[in-house]
Chain A
Amino acid sequence: MSYSVNISVEAPTENQIQEITYDGTEIYQPPLTLSESLAKYAQKIDFSKTSEVEIKKEESNEDSKSDTDSKDAFQSSLWPWDSVRNKLRNTLQEVCVLADVLAIAKDKRYLVLDPVQQEPLETKPMVQIYARKKALAGAASVLLAGSEKMKNSQNEAARSRTTLDFHIELLRLRQNWRLKKVSNTIIGDLSYRTTGSKYLQTGTFEVTKAEDEEKVTSPPSSPLPGGPAPVKPTSALRVSIPSELQGVAYIEVLCQKDQEDLCTANLTLLGSGPPPSNPDMHWQQKLEAAQNVLFCKELFNQLAKEAVQLQAPIPHMVVGNQIMATVLPGIQLIIALRHSTSSDKKQQNPPPSKSDHDHVLEHSLHQLLREVHHKNTHHPFPHPATGPLGPSKKRMLAGPTAADRYELLEMTKTQTLLEQIVQQAQHFIMRMRTEYVLDTIAKEVKDPLITSHWNTLNSPTQSCVKIHISTHGYDAVCRTPLIIHVGEKSLKCICRDGKVMNMSYEPQELRDLIFCHINQHQILAVQALAKTMGWQALGNSNHLGTGTVEPLGNASSCLLSSPTGDRIIAVRCEPSDTQVSVAHSPRQDFFPSRLVTERKWEHLGGQFRDVRLDKMEGRNFLHKMELLMASLTSSS
């Protein structure tokens, strides 16, 4: 109170506010004109003060002007308002009469008041409704406009935060996904319909605006949602995906030997908890995951349908969401749809099966279905252009080339996805088996070296391996090439001499063939070596009919004679071991007997004696043979 502050009070220069509308705009009164202000002051006059007598007196003294100055001023200024005054006076008169009547009526002796039947007011209900409607609509529009303004300001505030604008997000969504507006909701479609899928399940999702409350609750640690930048910007857009498309799905493909653990695997994986709504996931990932689920479902559905329809020698089995097909005797292909709806469950249970999930086959399954989709939409265009859409070029040519019934039937045949994947699995197994056989033989057999070159370019159902059999240090002398085409259920081997051998899926057959070729290689190599040493090959046989019976294949053999012809070497190769025998031509132990008397018969050659190869020096068989031939040549 000690501070004295000068306050000056002034009348506001601006006009008075007549009305403030609900949206806050102010409507000002127009400034008063002189006459209006006069009327305003006139209203301030208290007429009740002036009694009838006074008025009468005023009337009588109109010209006298005997009143006070103020009164005089008032009177003079009132003159233009004479009519008003008269009316007021009349009113007063009437009121006085009324008061008198009421006073008389109060006595109830001379006057009685009876209620008069009032004429009913004509109300038109429709008019009233319209009027009310109009009034309500006016009020509603004001409210709506106000709320719109508030929303805008809130959006403004939201934008200044980390949240992205809903419409910008929607625009981004629209760039990658199909959206359409149905009444007040935005519906999207993530199915593969437009790319040729004919799967019936719909992939619709709904796009909504993320509410503010949720944003506040989702990061509970941050006290102020509007505070300085949370780490992760929350999206202003929310997509709601049907529950059957939530979660993570994939197609598991296993190649299993025998029936080890068929029932255990899928039960653990399928125990899915309640679908968790992961709010942190961005809508793009969410939609992609859902689309993947849909794709996997379609793929599995298609495969299951085919598995039931196909007439396989060993029928395919469809149990739950698992398809089992027999690829080769004893080997099953298991295709399972794994759909886990919880995202954290994945770490808990890695697939417990021993044989690993085959990513390559899974990928090719995806590829196959996409091919089907592509074919559904990419029909060939007819040439010439007036031709019908639809039939393939082959079909179009069937008429002019007079295709028969068989050819036409062939045209209608298409391989199902399951057949194709079974073929691929068969090939995969065959390739693995072939690899295994070649590797084990290369490990077992050290003497001729076996090298295999796999072609890098191959198709899903065909590959090719080239095998070289050669001896270390002598690969210039002799080398046996073999080419093996690995198919789906068979092997085709093209031998050195151009012979084609067809084999079944049994790995033992390939093993036998390779061993047979090892023997032949040894014999051929010895002959080639002999040629370079000046020895003479007397004869050879790839399939020797004599001697002990081999467990597989036949032994090969050859006979070599020294340059002078006095020494003969016999070589017999069989998978188990190699025998080498030597004979001297003028036999050293010739004794004339009673049957063979003459000395000349000693040149026929004597008994073959075995050479103990394992005791000989030399790195390998050919080296030993070279040393043997050299020693025999020099001694002559």
Chain B
Amino acid sequence: MSTPGNAMDSLSAALKCNIIPNQEYLLQGSVLDQYVEVLLHRLRGLCDNVDSGPETFHDHEICFSLRIPNSGATTSMPMSVFSLRVRRAIDVTDTPFQLRYIGQQELGDKNRPTVVRSSIDMACSSSIIEFLNELGCRIDFEYIARGYMFRKGRMKITVSKIFKMGSNKQESVEPISQSYIVELSVLAPSGQDSIGEDMRIFAEQLRPLVQLEKIDYKRLSNMM
């Protein structure tokens, strides 16, 4: 009954009906180490179900990139870089690996409260790393993120510290900076822009502690 063709049909039908959450609405900010406790305290007051304390996480992320030579042979862009992220939980061992594609972010104009980028993720087994290597992907960078996550309705708030991977895989991890990255994100089907407004209001409530904003990476790289 469910032939592959059928499955493709139903997938495209699902895409057409716009029920696949493939857009990520994102706001980012950072907070210094010494003030993170205050922020966590505030988040505990604002978010859902924190009676049992905030949920911690400890993840390892590897970013793979695949360089595809452009057949168009334009001199300005000889290669197009396509990156994929593999993430696994270190603290919870029986969870699947996650493969994630994050698209180009759209900043939009001033009226749009959040960054919107397409995001497709799926669970996969641990052999994904080998598989990507076989495909020709190369490790771009990797890091360890450790921190706390909260939820408020559909919104997910992560407060994470990024660590550099040492040469010795297990032991030596050193923090990249003296601050935590704070992310407020919602995964939703495209076209649901009302969620952006909710996020803006929520970010407003965290205002003096952390400034959650649309971060323009291009400008950041220009600054450096």
Contacts and interface: CB of A to CB of B under 8 A. Distances in A.
Interface of A: 377-379, 381, 383-389, 393, 396-401, 405
Nearest to A405: B2
A388 B89 contact: no
Given A381-B151, A385-B158, A386-B87, A397 B96 contact: yes
Nearest to B154: A389
B122 A384 contact: no
Contact of A396 (B59, B96, B151): B96
A396 B57 contact: no
A378 B48 CA distance: 8
Interface string B115-126: 000000111110
Given A383-B91, A384-B98, A389 B57 contact: no
B123 A399 contact: yes
B114 interface: no
Contacts of A397: 94-96, 123
A383 B124 contact: no
B156 A384 contact: no
A384 B2 contact: no
Nearest to B92: A383
Contacts of B2: 405
18 contacts: A381-B149, A383-B59, A384-B59, A384-B87, A385-B158, A386-B61, A386-B87, A387-B121, A387-B123, A388-B21, A388-B187, A389-B154, A393-B94, A393-B95, A397-B95, A399-B96, A400-B124, A401-B125
Contact of B96 (A377, A379, A388, A400): A400
A412 to B, nearest CB: 16
Given A378-B49, A396-B95, A397-B96, A383 B89 contact: yes
Nearest to B149: A385
Contacts of A401: 125
Nearest to A374: B49
Nearest to A381: B55
Contacts of A386: 59, 61, 85, 87, 98, 100, 121
B33 to A, nearest CB: 19
Nearest to B59: A384
Given A384-B59, A393-B95, A399 B100 contact: no
A384 B151 contact: no
A387 B57 CA distance: 12
A400 B123 contact: yes
B57 A385 contact: yes
A383 B92 CA distance: 7
B84 interface: no
A144 B125 CA distance: 74
Contacts of A377: 48-49
Given A385-B149, A400-B125, A405-B2, 5 more contacts: A377-B48, A385-B158, A388-B121, A389-B151, A398-B123
B212 interface: no
A384 B48 contact: no
A379 B145 CA distance: 22
Nearest to A395: B123
Of the candidates A383, A388, A397, A398, the one having the most CB atoms from chain B within 10 angstroms of its own CB is A383
B65 interface: no
Contacts of A393: 94-95
Interface of B: 2, 21, 48-49, 55, 57, 59, 61, 85, 87-89, 91-92, 94-98, 100, 121-125, 145, 147, 149, 151, 154, 156, 158, 160, 187
A384 B57 contact: yes
A378 B51 CA distance: 11
Contacts of A399: 96, 122-124
A405 B10 CA distance: 15
B147 to A, nearest CB: 8
B200 to A, nearest CB: 19
Contacts of A381: 55, 57, 149, 151
B73 to A, nearest CB: 36
A396 B123 contact: yes
A383 B95 CA distance: 7
Contacts of B149: 381, 385
A527 to B, nearest CB: 53
Contacts of B147: 385
Counting from the closest, the 6 A-B pairs by CB-CB distance are: A383-B89, A400-B125, A384-B59, A384-B87, A385-B57, A383-B92
Contacts of B154: 389
B151 to A, nearest CB: 6
A393 B89 CA distance: 13
A157 B218 CA distance: 69
A389 B95 contact: no
A52 B69 CA distance: 125
A385 B96 contact: no
Given A379-B151, A396-B123, A399-B123, A385 B160 contact: yes
Contacts of A396: 95-96, 123
Nearest to A399: B123
Nearest to B88: A384
A359 B224 CA distance: 70
A401 B97 CA distance: 12
Contacts of A400: 96-97, 123-125
A254 to B, nearest CB: 36
Nearest to B2: A405
